[in-house]
């Protein structure tokens, strides 16, 4: 039986389960799998595995029983299906947190608590920049106050502990140093976590309109009427500018503050197919 707590895609888990059963028993088939789950259509589970169908709330329980999943495995499987098939980010976050609750009690190669946590809070990248550029001497109260908006001292301390655990910073004489380590998770999890970071960044940008003096920020926007071809051109321009911004920051030998540069470019109308 594949170890379900290592999966963040229920279709991949079902496929691996099927392949394993087929290797053990030649006569095992989608028909037998469907019969065991109580489905009338023999191709149903085949279509689910290949993304053509989705599992309903009732069918989740039938499939879990057909695979002889234990209670905790069944609950994780249910959360996994709902996470994959969620209709919006709030639903995905809810079911992802349910998945995390189960993986804390067992090993997991994909849903790593620390790695997800790095993306889940906007201040972790900021703390990383601050502790490796200033010597706070583990004064977490001062570190917490250095952020805008400020966080709690315990959050600052926990952030440093997380960064050390991930290998993104290391202890050095007189403070901390950056490492070249990269945080990785499964694609589905990483995508979800980064989406959450972007939502937090947009909220911070919105708050900055009132919180940060105009001379210390640049918030502007343009509404344009363009073709699909030029959408791609502008996206590439934004990407290139972000690379230039990083290059400027890397060359800066007099840096004394952390800025968040967040860029968005998205449609606010439907495609015009005919003249009106």
Domain assignment of residue 253, yes or no = no
Going through the chain in order, the beta strands assigned E by DSSP cover: 169-172, 175-178
Domain assignment of residue 23, yes or no = yes
Mean local confidence (pLDDT), 201-220: 91
The residues facing 171 across adjacent strands are 176
**With pLDDT > 90 as the criterion, what percentage of the chain qualifies?**
53
pLDDT computed for residue 41 by the predictor: 87
Residue 90 or residue 130, greater confidence: 130
Mean local confidence (pLDDT), 83-111: 72
> Which domain, by its residues, includes 64?
4-102
Domain assignment of residue 243, yes or no = no
Residue 275 has pLDDT above 70, yes or no: no
57 touches 23 (CB < 8 A): no
Q: 54-75 pLDDT, tens per residue?
A: 999 999 999 999 999 999 999 9
pLDDT computed for residue 21 by the predictor: 94
Categorize the per-residue pLDDT at 250 as very low, low, confident or very high, splitting at 50, 70 and 90. Answer: confident
Give the least confident one: 106-110, 145-149, 179-183, 189-193: 106-110
Domain assignment of residue 159, yes or no = no
The span from the CA of 4 to the CA of 74, in Å, is 9
What's the total number of domains in the chain?
1
Domain assignment of residue 78, yes or no = yes
Question: If you ran DSSP here, which 8-state letter would residue 147 be given?
Answer: S
Domain assignment of residue 143, yes or no = no
Q: What is the pTM of this model?
A: 0.60
Categorize the per-residue pLDDT at 127 as very low, low, confident or very high, splitting at 50, 70 and 90. Answer: very high
The span from the CA of 20 to the CA of 188, in Å, is 23
Residue 97 or residue 15, greater confidence: 15
Alpha helices in 111-227 (DSSP H): 113-120, 123-131, 140-145, 153-166, 187-211
Residue 84 has pLDDT above 70, yes or no: yes
Of the ranges 62-76, 103-117, 126-140, which is most confident?
62-76
Categorize the per-residue pLDDT at 111 as very low, low, confident or very high, splitting at 50, 70 and 90. Answer: very low
189 touches 116 (CB < 8 A): yes
Domain assignment of residue 57, yes or no = yes
Residue 110 has pLDDT above 70, yes or no: no
Q: How large is the C-alpha radius of gyration of the chain?
A: 24
Categorize the per-residue pLDDT at 113 as very low, low, confident or very high, splitting at 50, 70 and 90. Answer: low
Question: Residue 83: how many CA atoms within 13 Å on its side-chain side?
Answer: 25
pLDDT computed for residue 104 by the predictor: 54
Q: 151-166 pLDDT, tens per residue?
A: 999 999 999 999 998 8
Mean local confidence (pLDDT), 103-117: 54
Q: 226-248 pLDDT, tens per residue?
A: 999 999 999 999 989 988 998 89
**With pLDDT > 70 as the criterion, what percentage of the chain qualifies?**
88
- The mean predicted confidence, pLDDT, of the chain is 86
Could you give the 3-state DSSP secondary structure of residue 266? coil
Mean local confidence (pLDDT), 188-216: 83
Categorize the per-residue pLDDT at 101 as very low, low, confident or very high, splitting at 50, 70 and 90. Answer: confident
Domain assignment of residue 187, yes or no = no
């Amino acid at each position: 039986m594949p170890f379900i707590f290592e999966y963040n895609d229920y279709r991949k888990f079902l496929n691996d389960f099927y392949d394993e059963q087929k290797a053990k028993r030649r006569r095992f088939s989608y028909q037998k799998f469907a019969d065991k789950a109580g489905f009338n259509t023999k191709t149903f589970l085949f279509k689910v595995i290949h993304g053509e169908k989705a599992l309903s709330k009732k069918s989740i329980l039938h499939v879990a029983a057909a695979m002889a999943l234990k209670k905790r495995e069944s609950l994780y499987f249910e959360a996994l299906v709902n996470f994959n098939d969620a209709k919006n980010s709030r639903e995905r976050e809810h079911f992802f947190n349910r998945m995390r609750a189960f993986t804390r009690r067992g090993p997991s190669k994909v849903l790593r608590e620390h790695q997800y946590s790095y993306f889940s809070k906007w201040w972790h990248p900021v703390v990383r920049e601050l502790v490796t550029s200033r010597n706070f001497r583990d004064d977490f109260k001062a570190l917490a106050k250095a952020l805008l908006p400020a966080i709690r001292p315990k959050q600052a301390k926990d952030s440093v502990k997380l960064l050390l655990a991930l290998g993104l910073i290391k202890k050095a004489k007189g403070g901390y140093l950056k490492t070249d380590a990269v945080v990785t998770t499964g694609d589905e999890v990483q995508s979800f976590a980064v989406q959450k970071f972007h939502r937090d960044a947009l909220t911070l940008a919105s708050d900055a309109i009132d919180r940060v003096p105009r001379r210390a920020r640049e918030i502007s926007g343009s509404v344009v009427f363009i073709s699909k071809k030029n959408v791609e051109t502008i996206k590439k321009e934004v990407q290139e500018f972000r690379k230039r911004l990083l290059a400027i920051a890397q060359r800066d030998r007099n840096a004394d503050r952390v800025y968040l540069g967040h860029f968005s470019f998205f449609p606010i109308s439907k495609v015009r197919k005919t003249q009106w």
